[in-house]
Amino acid sequence: MEDRKITKKDIQFGRKLQRVRKKAGFTQEKLADLTKRSTTFIGLIETGRRRPSMKTLQKIASALSINIKELF
């Protein structure tokens, strides 16, 4: 895998996801379980170190019972 620079937008998205997840009362483990992703991957998204695919965004939004737009 190629190294990529973490952008301000990556960090902002991760923080927003974390806020929305916590507001929904979910742990990273619960969100990971519901989205069939690893806890590590959820953590990497929340710290801006990974960018989720559209499919993952859809799974996250569905698990949190929100519209994808609410993550941005």
Average pLDDT over residues 50-55: 95
Select from 53, 64, 47, 63 the least CA-distant residue to 13.
Answer: 47
φ/ψ (deg, to 5) at 37: -120, 165
Q: What is the set of domains in the chain, with CATH numbers? A: 8-71 (1.10.260.40)
As a whole number, the mean pLDDT across the chain is 94
Find the helix or strand (DSSP H, E) in which 41 lies.
helix 39-46
pTM assigned to the model:
0.89
Average pLDDT for residues 29-54, to the nearest whole number? Answer: 97
Residue 4 confidence class, pLDDT cut points 50, 70, 90? confident
Alpha carbon of 61 to those of 4, 7, 8, 26: distances in Å? 25, 22, 22, 13
Average pLDDT for residues 21-45, to the nearest whole number? 97
Q: Region 20-48: what's the mean pLDDT?
A: 97
